[in-house]
Every structure is written in structure tokens, then in C-alpha cells.
A and B are shown apart, each in its own frame.
Chain A
Amino acid sequence: MSHCENPLWPCAMTGAVACLAGFEDVAVIVHGSSGCYFYPASLLPYPIYGSHLLETEIIFGSGSRLQDVVTRMPGTHAAVAVVTTCVPSLVGEDIHALLAGVGGVLVVDAPGFIGQFERGWQAAQQVLPARVDPEKTGVNIDGLNPIDPFYRGNVLEARRLLSLAGLSPGTFFSSDRFQSLSQSGAYTLSTNPDLTGTVGTPAGSLLGLEATRRAFRTLGDRYPAMDGDAVEKEIARAEERISKVCDKFLRRHNPPAVAIFGSRSYALHAADLLTYSLDASILCIGSRNGPVHAAYPAEEMTEFPSIKERIERDHPDLVLGSSYEQSVCGDAAFVPLTPPIRGRIFLHARPLIGPEGALLLIEEVLNGCLDRMKKR
């Protein structure tokens, strides 16, 4: 493996912690140094815990420290989850054995050196005691990532859509309570196909209007009593509003040339929406988390210099990405799509999925493009 320069995507440990922390009554303990703890703690909207190991505990064994931390967790939690970082994982202590006396502790081995965020997310999903309850008719939602700027918005939009359709929510991975894991529904909708889970039969994705339509039609086949029309109408209304505003934009302006940087599924979704609705030209997709197979120029870009070079080479009118991209996008319009989004305040819920997500993305893109033109 060659070296890398200013890497941009979080490690497996962060992914595992993010996945578990979304279950609000699970006490997540980062088993490692305070340095490893502080990074996910700075990103997550939920509190997490740390064993904050010292050097001596690595030399003489971290078991008693971990036992101490686990037993001091507030009793209000339904479960405790321990995520091991690089050194405890390498040292090879048997965490399960160390905590045998405590009981009910989930252990996820997710050292940073095994890979990136998604690898840790999957590792955490595998230890969650989720199972489908045949008595329940709720629909699960997965791909809800607490460090995603669209996290809370996606949660609310998923609930709204299920409610419109008259369906009850199943387990939300990860925005739920621990107990819900034992009562998962038989079908699962995805909000981010990069973070798919293992519970329930996949029924499609809510990322994009057409995908949302297809997903609810699939559910309609399973749940005949569902009010599919309500969702169809909502999607049609969003399409109409997007169509109207994009047409007006194009009467006066050329479509933007766009560079998109982010996780694979989000980036592809944005590219599809902008191409379809605004006839935008996609100059490049820079994927943070693996190769992209698409009709657009696309490649995996996980280091800052390559992204900077690409933006400087392509001169896009519009850049979608994180605040890293924003820092080098010059006079191009910028729309946030990818964490981290630093240097601006987000308080209200912002969805990317479903009709509201599509509306928000188009709204931000057009406002960004119009503001840029006014500045020129």
C-alpha cells in the first residue's frame, strides 16, 4: 500500500461507532486512546464514551480498565457496545472473555487499519442483535448515518413518507432504540445504498424521486392496504415544482457544469438529479468510498490534493462536496453534500432522500448558481 496525502474519509472505527451511536440507549465505548475517542465524539450528535487508555494499560493489559468503564455505565442504557481501536485490537486481548462477567455487551473489532468508514459500519451491523419479527408490519429504514449532514432530515423524511403511505416504521438503522432491533420489519428501505444492512428484504432506495416511487410500488405489492397514491402524488408534486423552477432557470441561463465529490451513492444521486432536471453536465464524480460505475466521468478520490487538482483543471460552475472542496472551489457555486461541512451552522433538518430531499438539493443548487451569477 502506498502512502496517502491529506486523506478525507474516516476510518473503520468511526464507522462502527457511528452505526452504534444511532441507537440512543446503547452506550458506545471507544476502547482505545482519548485521541481516537475525540474524533467521532466531535462529529456525532449523540454522546459516546471512551476507555481512554493509558500506556501502562497496554503493557499490563487493558481488561480491568475496560471492565471498570463498562460497569460504570449509567444503568439507563439498554445495552453497552465496545468498539476496539488499533492498539487494543493488535494486542489481541480477548474482549469477550474480559467482559464475560458483565454480560450483554456487544463487541465490535474495528481498528482503523482494516479499512474505511463503511467497513466499520458493516462490522457493527453484524453484531447488532437485529431480527425480523413476523408479527410486525413495520418497514425498516437503513443507511441513516449520524455523521451525515442529512441524517436528521433523512430520518424525518423517511417517517413522513411511511406515514403518508399508512405504513408503520420498523427499525431505523441507525436512529432508534435498542429494543426495536428485536422487532424489525420484513422489508427495508435504504437511504444510502453504501450503508446497507443485513435485516429485512431490501425493497429499494429513497435516494431520488424515481427510486422512491419504485420502492413504494415494491412495498405496495407486499402491503396491499398501503396508500401508495399518497406517496405517488407527493412525488409528482415535487417533480412538477422542480420542473417549473429548472425550466425558468434555463430560460435565462445555461445549465451548470458540475463537479461532485462524496460517497458513491450520494454523488450518483446528485448527478442523476442534476442531469435529469437541469440538463447539467457532470464534469466528474469523485467518490470517497470506492470505484463508481456510471455514465459519468468518475473515479475514486480520497485524498485532498487530487480533488484540488481536479477542480482546478475542470473549472466547474458548481461544486458539490464537503468543506474541503469548498476551500478550493474558487468562484464556483458550492452546495454541501458530504461530511465534513465545517465553517457553517446547520440547525434545521435537511433531507437528501425522498421528495423533500430532491427539492432541497435543487433549491440549493439553483440558489447557489444564481448567487454566483449575481457576484460576477
Chain B
Amino acid sequence: MNVIPHITESLRLEGCTILGALSITTAIRDAVTVIHGPSGCTQHNFSLLHATFLADGIAALPHLLSTHLTEDEIIFGGEEVLETLLKDISAPGPGCIFVLSTCIVDTIGDDTSAVCRKSWGVPVIYLPTAGFLGGGFNQGLINTLMTLSHRIEPVEKQPLTVALIGEKNLEYEVETNYAEITRLLNLLGVRVELRFVRDLCFADIDRLGGAALNILREPLLAPVGQMLEWKFGTPFIDCMPEGFSGTLRFLAEVAHHLDLDAPPALRKETAHQDEVCAKFADFRGVAVNFGAEHRLSGIPAIDEVVTTLGLQPTGEGVMLPLPVPVPIGTAGMERLLHRWRRVIHVSL
């Protein structure tokens, strides 16, 4: 429960920069992540990531190290501890080492960057994620993707391939969203070349420039898309598809960027969407409610399906939950409709 902030204060509720960065660094199998700060920061995040990994059926646990700063290091500085730790963990030669700073080390003024710049024999990548002093969750996520992107060299383009940029690794539906994207791309004969960054090795990231098209998880990641376009000439779509018509538009956009024939795929998907809608014919005329102020939800993808299925938005109908974020593709919308039907069953 939060004290509700003004919209301009939404940064307050984003969560920690560290978790945003960790959502990326822990998706690299051969990477080690060091969190430079008290052990509590590492424990919190290890616990949250452990829960997420379990929910995704990932058996491995994230490999997180903490410099474990206590009152002594807070007073006298923690750079020495970080240096000793990097010496220890660089020796076995992990794919790379990420070093994340915390709010406490920024406050005491440790020069984390300088320690990381020393020669360690393996890539040691400093991510300035000073908790809330470094922004919020999204800033941690974007900074990490940008930092990794900067390191990559151009490679030969692979035709009919895409890279997925910034999948939300902590999102409960991340794999079902991926399945939907691959289903849609298959309609066009396109494959995913790289998931940047999910379940890969550090060296795999070098393939990023080879994708013919980048698909961002959400518009928030536009700076990453723009940077990759500038660096590798790769065009991008700024969001995964939301809603029925959004899904068709997505297919058309992919086809346009890759110079493919869209109509056959669009016909197939339209027929599929018609089948999905037919399953929910019983929704027609049901009075639903999205809150007192608005008759419709105000979310285009949701309002489209409400209208298509003939639900009747009123101020007094069945209160339907609005999904955050909006489900991806036709499959995501179908799952949402099943959730709504459950609510309607319970309420009527």
C-alpha cells in the first residue's frame, strides 16, 4: 500500500534501479553480478528473483555476490572490499562480471567506477545503479541495455530475423508473451535471432547487430531502439502488439520492415481472432464496469474488445479487472477474456 503519488511522482513507485539492472544481468547465464553495498540489498533481490525464476520454471538460481558492507566499511569506505572480491571472482574467468552500486555506496562516495576500470582479465562492467539515487527500476533496465549495446560490434545481417529488446524478465507472462510473438512471426516466416536479454551467454550478445528488425517490449525502451538503429541500421517496432487490431498492425509492420507479403498472414490471424471472439459470444449485452469516472476503460486495446464483443460498459455493471500491462497479442487477449468470464460468473 502506498501513499498515492502525483503522476509526475510515479518514479517513486518504480522500485529500485538495482532490480531493473538485475532483471537483465541475471538473464545472462555465465555472468556474475556483484552488488556493492550491505548484504540486505542482495538478499532482497535474490529472494525476489528466486521467486520469479521459480514461477518461470527456471531451476538455476541467480549468481549474486555482495560486498557485504557493514558499519565499519560505511565509515571507512568499501572500495577495498570490492577490489578484493573482484580479484577472487575474476580468476575462474566468468563470461563477465557486472558491478552494481547501491544508494549507500554513492552516499559515502566510493569510486566504484574506478575500481571496475582496473584490469581484471575478464569484462567487468560497472552499472551505476545507486538504488533510488540512480533513478528507478526502468532507469536501471535501460541503462543496462544501453551499456551492453555500446559494447557490441556490427555483424552481418541475418535476413528474416528479429531481436526482442527488453522483454520484461520479471513479468509473470514473459514466456507466454514470447510464445505469442514467435507464433505471430511464424505466420510471416520470421524467426527470433536473439532475446536481448533473456537466457543467453555473454558472447551471444555479439549477435545483436545481426537482426534485421528489433522489436521493443514497450515504448519506454525507445532510446535503446534508437541507439541500435543508429549503430547497426536496424529499424525497430516500439512495442509488442496489444489488442486484436494492434496484433494485425504488428504483423503488417513486421512485413513492411522485412519486405514481406503481409495479406496471407493477416487473413490467417483475422480468422483466428474471429474464432476467439466466437468463444465469448455469451458476453454480448453483459453490463460491465471499469470504474465510476469512465464508461470505457480508456485503454484502446481493451475498449476495442469490449465493443467487439458487445459488452455494455456502465457505472454499475460487473467490475472487470484491467490488466497491467495490457496482454500481448491475440493469445493474451483470449486469456484476459477467460479471466473476465470467471469474474462475470462469480458476480452474476
Q: Identify the A interface with B (CB < 8 A).
A: 1-14, 32-39, 41-42, 47-55, 58, 68-69, 72-73, 86-87, 90-91, 111-115, 304, 323-324, 327, 340, 342-343
Contacts and interface: CB of A to CB of B under 8 A. Distances in A.
A201 B61 CA distance: 44
A5 B1 contact: no
Contacts of B107: 58, 87, 90-91
B1 A47 contact: yes
A87 B5 contact: no
30 contacts: A3-B66, A4-B65, A7-B40, A7-B68, A10-B47, A11-B39, A33-B103, A34-B14, A35-B41, A35-B44, A39-B44, A48-B1, A50-B2, A52-B132, A53-B12, A55-B133, A55-B134, A72-B3, A86-B37, A87-B103, A90-B107, A112-B38, A112-B40, A112-B41, A113-B69, A113-B104, A114-B71, A323-B54, A327-B54, A342-B50
A52 B16 contact: no
Contacts of B119: none
Contact of A8 (B5, B19, B43): B43
B18 interface: yes
A33 B132 contact: yes
A11 B38 contact: yes
Contacts of A2: 68, 81, 84
B155 interface: no
Nearest to A35: B16
Contacts, number: 172
Interface string B1-34: 1110100010111111111000000000000000
A8 B46 contact: yes
A38 B15 contact: yes
A4 B39 contact: yes
Contact of B11 (A39, A54, A69, A86): A54
B277 interface: no
A1 B13 CA distance: 33
B48 interface: yes
Contacts of B13: 34, 52
B313 interface: no
B46 A6 contact: yes
A2 to B, nearest CB: 7
B51 A342 contact: yes
Given A10-B47, A55-B134, 8 more contacts: A1-B68, A7-B68, A11-B40, A55-B132, A86-B38, A87-B131, A323-B50, A343-B55
Given A6-B46, A50-B2, A343-B51, A1 B70 contact: yes
A7 B39 contact: yes
Contacts of A112: 38-41
A198 to B, nearest CB: 24
B42 interface: yes
4 closest Cβ contacts across the A-B interface? A35-B16, A11-B40, A112-B40, A33-B132
B253 interface: no
Contacts of A323: 50, 54
